[in-house]
Structure 1
Amino acid sequence: MNFQAYVSLWAACFVGGLLVLYTIYSAKEAVDYMPQCPMVEPYRPSTYLANSQVIDTILHDHEFRNQSLVKLQNAIRIKTETHDDDPATVEDDPEYWSKFDIFESYLRSTFPLFYQNTELHKVNHHGLVYIWRGTNTTLKPLLLMGHQDTSPVPESTLPLWTYPPFEAHYNGTHLFGRGSSDCKNLVIGYFEAAEELMKTGFIPRRTVVFSFGFDEEVSGVRNRNAQWLEQKFGSKSMYAICDEGGVSLTTLDGTTMAVPGTGEKGFLNLWIDLKTPGGHSSVPPDHTSLGVMADLMVKIENDPFPSYFTPQNPTYYQYVCLAENSATIDKELKKNILSSQASPLSNKKVREYIESSRWLKYYIKTSQALDVIHGGSKSNALPEFVQLTINSRVAIEESIHSALEKYLRNVKNVAQKYDFGLSYQLKNEPAVEIFPPTPQGDFLVHTDEYFDVAPLTPINDNHWKIFAGNIKHVYEELIWPDIYQGPNAHNPIIVSPGIAPGNTDTKYYWNLSDHIYRYRPGEYTSVETSAHGVNEWIKFDSHLQIIVFYFQYIQSVDEIDD
């Protein structure tokens, strides 16, 4: 055999061997892969048909719509803004917090049937806890949460609003105003759902608890509702907890998904202080404290946190559900998602796909937002003190300490570059010195506002079957039956676990239940409806969907035993 023939034979054998290995691997992958998406069927209460007229009225009756609209409009018109610099306690300035007395009085006058059938307990003056007693005290209560306060409307943004933020303007389809999306629509929806049930003569077997804080938008530090409930009912005493959050409905690669939050990222507010000698601006150093802090800011932003795509994060299951069930997903993306835990390259490609969107990337990584900087006092005086505020929402796979280590690494590099001292301090702990003070200046990295990643809600049990199944029932069978029923039906809505990039008051309620669902029904996410921003709005149909969802869900969990 000549050399050329030998090379040809060797190449043929090599290629053939690769094909055999590929075939074996592909076959093995097909055999080994087990579906991971926690799929459910629509779940409806047994009263579904008996209450069909009530449901139809909520969704389609013009008079009911107008009455519901007025209830939400009037709630929006009551200003309940909270700010980062609010009085630390209610006792410090009772008059400031009295706006929540006005809001509670409005609830009392608007929902008399609700008040007749529940007990109201005021916690720390303005926290509202309503208890709708069930007839079976052995059943764990269902806890429904929301918050009374809204994010503030800066005066400088008022000219940017199409309609005044507290006018609650309705254009026939959409309602505009601060709190319309976050989250007075949810709070008012709970009251309306409960009253509609009460009108039918429904008496719950399972107690239903409603809990509304009054400072969620400023981290809920005054919220004592969870402590009060734990003292009254005990640890792990709630059947399930529902709050705002999650992704109501979204479309990914042509597939409609609902994504209740079954986990929540950690939270970190970090302050970096820099103190330097002062002096006259006519003889500045090469780098003032503002210049040094600017250097640090650039280094921080040029050193983003890593991304992760692992089963630790409920977002993983969101994409697995998409890959397993979507008929339109890109084939290469589908392959990469389903092989992401076996192939580092596939995992990298999935992360790159998610990170290509600003709106999606922070589901799989820690965010870092450089939000506030203070420094300097006048144009002819060198700044002696500069402070930078950073907010991070910590990835499921990380921790507060790993996030802090990253920021300390950034500050260390700058401190060494300019020969500055460096210390760090956690809440209620003594400062730890890393570099000793120097004549040039000193950094202090400190935080007293943080909490770690939330415990994950189970997703393969009866709790999930009922909650997720109610979402499918409401949207596929009640709201859009023409789309999702019959021979020409669209692909079904996929309900998958997930997270939201932000945080909620549920962080105070972890001891009360292992089953926490962060989900506000509706057609648009809070990001899409400009929550916290100019021209916050909702499509009013979404508010009616909240009412129907909780009208059905309360009955669904009432019919089962723990």
Structure 2
Amino acid sequence: MGRSLHIIVLALAVVAYGLLKAAPGAFRQDPEDAAVQQLQLELDAEVERGAVGRLATALSFATLANSSAPNHIGNPAPFQQLHDFLERSFPLVYERLKHERVSEYSILFTWQGSNPELRPVLAMSHMDVVPAPEGPGYNWTHPPFSGTVADGYIWGRGALDVKVTVLQQLEAVAALLRQGYAPQRTILLAFGHDEEVGGGSGAGAMAALLASRGVELELVLDEGGIVLMDGVSGPNFKLVERPVALIGTAEKGIEDWEIRVAGVGGHSSMPPTDGSSVAARISRVLAAMDAYPTPTKLGAPVTDWLQALAPAVKLAPLRMLLQNANNWIVNPVLGQLLGQAGKEINPFVRTTCGVVQIEAGGIAHNVLPRSGSIKVNCRLLPGHDSSFVQEYLEMVTRKEAAHVTLHKLPLGSVPASHVAASSGPHWQLIKQAILETLQPPGGLQVAPYLVSGMTDSRHYSSLAGGRVYRFCPHRYTRADIGRVHGVDERIAAEDFLRGIGYYRRILQLASADESSTEAGPEGAAATA
């Protein structure tokens, strides 16, 4: 951070301090919340001995979705092998819960609750994984579909994203069934087969099935946030040093646009000298996009995230700024500061437009192209829509307007999600389950955040009134993040088992009626 930014931070901190003096009680911690944070239960040891081996076997099936294949499945054999394996491995779950195959390869479980007046809770995951290239440049320690258990880890594609949570949820339900647990609220488990290519045939079909039955959901639990053991940091900054559990309360939207560029063709031996070639015009558009990113916007859930992190920030001026993230003076300048904090933080305060493909349109080595294109993938903040993106693209192409046309591509366009509450009963029960089962000895900060990618939960959001929370019960270091969709995907066996404990607890809390979930630490300890 440069000297001028330091001056701005200090100036804003003075403003923030004045605001705090004017409202001395504004940022006191909720006493009930403090009590929950102090509660930390031991992981229940009743985890079936073969759980690690079952995950390893599940990872050995190369369940690859294919966007161009019917039902999004090019090779059905690994999916059928996985289904057969799950049914053999969890006989009690298949015996006691209603199970339905949807679109042939997705599966919907229903654990009927004792009180039909309570809306069901839906826990979800997906069985498909992304491809795992091998060969030169891909140095896998263990083959990606070997399901190897070595050095305290379970290795394989899907160990992090997110076949692992299919197994964790089934292990948790099996354990609850063995102990005789009976939910009051119906529990649904929905495992899709094509999330990595949009989820339309899997989660989309299951959501449509539930909607046709008139099902209204109380809560949806999906993948998204994780426990960052290194805290919140980037290459050049350290915002929070203690571990942070991030619960995704919203996710960005997605749109694809094409910028078509016309230019002067002709023989390559006589290229134009006035900048009228396709290549010159494309280069100017790219330079403008790089020089003029979209304006920053600091809103929910990012403001919620900053305020939740504030108590763990050591630098007092910065802590006061984060506490005042919603203040009309602090907010816009803080947004600009965060937009300069690096690629890890920038997506939280900007609708991003990334260039993913450039076509120069050449037809031969000695012919100048007459047309070309730039394809842009945009990830939209909550509150931004197609008109925002179009206005931005018109701005960066203004100097080439006579030679440029903009086209919104129809495939894959999804608006930003609803922002779920980061307070209240649903938030608190997820936070309670995290603190009881995942909290390391030094403590854990729990915060909402904005998921920059997309999940299958968007298919169910309307059934739950937007009450969607995205969290995976796994501890990550910065090095682990690169393993997602990368080489050497793996999860520590200890972390996998700890996550089973989390799902046991969250399903208990979420499937109880309101009077049971308000039992407090004593009640929680008695049922864990």
**Superposed pair shares fold, TM > 0.5:** yes
| Aligned twin of 2:374 | 388
SS in 2 for 1:368: strand
2:434 aligned partner, one-letter code: I
| Aligned twin of 1:535 | 488
Structure 1 residues 293, 529: closer, same or farther in 2, change over 3 A?
A: closer
| Aligned twin of 1:552 | 505
Structure 1 residues 36, 309: closer, same or farther in 2, change over 3 A?
A: farther
Residue 333 of structure 1 and its aligned partner are, at CA, apart by: 0.4
Distance 1:165 1:388 in 2: 34
Correspondence for 2:250 among 238, 263, 267: 263
Q: Do residues 73 (structure 1) and 25 (structure 2) align?
A: no
Residue 505 of structure 1 and its aligned partner are, at CA, apart by: 1.1
Conserved in 2, the CA contact under 8 Å of 1:145 and 1:210? yes
SS in 2 for 1:409: helix
Distance 1:320 1:169 in 2: 41
Q: 1:501-549, CA deviations, whole angstroms, 9 ceiling, x for partnerless residues?
A: 2111111111111311100011117962521112222222221122101
Residue 316 of structure 1 and its aligned partner are, at CA, apart by: 1.4
Conserved in 2, the CA contact under 8 Å of 1:265 and 1:452? yes
Q: 1:450-494, CA deviations, whole angstroms, 9 ceiling, x for partnerless residues?
A: 121211112332122211111111134xxx4xx2xxxxxx4x422
Identity %: 24
| Aligned twin of 2:525 | none
2:464 aligned partner, one-letter code: S
Distance 1:282 1:22 in 2: 62
Residue 113 of structure 1 and its aligned partner are, at CA, apart by: 1.7
Q: 1:76-112, CA deviations, whole angstroms, 9 ceiling, x for partnerless residues?
A: 11112235xx32532xx86534542232222222222
Residue 22 of structure 1 and its aligned partner are, at CA, apart by: 9.6
Structure 1 residues 377, 189: closer, same or farther in 2, change over 3 A?
A: farther
Conserved in 2, the CA contact under 8 Å of 1:337 and 1:347? no
Q: 1:363-387, CA deviations, whole angstroms, 9 ceiling, x for partnerless residues?
A: 2222222122344344234445534
Correspondence for 2:468 among 506, 510, 516: 516
Structure 1 residues 94, 336: closer, same or farther in 2, change over 3 A?
A: closer
| Aligned twin of 2:391 | 405
| Aligned twin of 1:87 | 68
Structure 1 residues 89, 401: closer, same or farther in 2, change over 3 A?
A: farther
Q: Do residues 309 (structure 1) and 298 (structure 2) align?
A: yes
Residue 412 of structure 1 and its aligned partner are, at CA, apart by: 3.6
Q: 1:298-343, CA deviations, whole angstroms, 9 ceiling, x for partnerless residues?
A: 2222221222333xx22212221222x22x5101101222334436
1:228 aligned partner, one-letter code: L
| Aligned twin of 2:365 | 379
1:518 aligned partner, one-letter code: R
Residue 248 of structure 1 and its aligned partner are, at CA, apart by: 2.6
Q: 1:182-228, CA deviations, whole angstroms, 9 ceiling, x for partnerless residues?
A: 00111111111111111112232221111122221122233312111
Correspondence for 1:33 among 26, 31, 38: 26
Q: Do residues 495 (structure 1) and 446 (structure 2) align?
A: yes
Conserved in 2, the CA contact under 8 Å of 1:523 and 1:539? no
Conserved in 1, the CA contact under 8 Å of 2:297 and 2:335? no
SS in 2 for 1:523: strand
SS in 2 for 1:102: helix
| Aligned twin of 1:431 | none
Q: Do residues 228 (structure 1) and 178 (structure 2) align?
A: no
SS in 2 for 1:246: strand
Distance 1:376 1:113 in 2: 61
Distance 1:88 1:459 in 2: 39
Give the alignment of 1:135-534 within 5 angstroms. 135-155=114-134, 159-222=138-201, 223-234=204-215, 237-250=216-229, 251-252=231-232, 253-274=240-261, 280-286=267-273, 287-310=276-299, 313-323=300-310, 325-326=311-312, 329-342=314-327, 344=329, 348-349=333-334, 351-353=336-338, 355-374=340-359, 375-383=361-369, 385-416=371-402, 420=403, 422=405, 424-426=406-408, 446-476=409-439, 480=440, 483=441, 490=442, 492-514=443-465, 515-524=467-476, 528=481, 530-534=483-487
Distance 1:534 1:282 in 2: 45
SS in 2 for 1:116: helix
SS in 2 for 1:503: coil
RMSD: 3.2
Conserved in 2, the CA contact under 8 Å of 1:39 and 1:494? no
SS in 2 for 1:244: strand
Distance 1:292 1:354 in 2: 28
Residue 277 of structure 1 and its aligned partner are, at CA, apart by: 7.1
Distance 2:17 2:302 in 1: 31
> Structure 2 regions of 5+ residues with no counterpart?
1-13, 233-239, 516-528
2:315 aligned partner, one-letter code: D
SS in 2 for 1:105: helix
Count of equivalent residues = 485
Distance 1:241 1:510 in 2: 8
Poorly superposed stretches of 4+, deviation over 6 Å: 21-24, 36-39
Residue 179 of structure 1 and its aligned partner are, at CA, apart by: 1.2
Residue 32 of structure 1 and its aligned partner are, at CA, apart by: 6.6
| Aligned twin of 1:16 | none
Residue 24 of structure 1 and its aligned partner are, at CA, apart by: 11
Conserved in 1, the CA contact under 8 Å of 2:16 and 2:321? no
> Structure 1 regions of 5+ residues with no counterpart?
1-20, 427-445, 484-489
Structure 1 residues 548, 391: closer, same or farther in 2, change over 3 A?
A: same
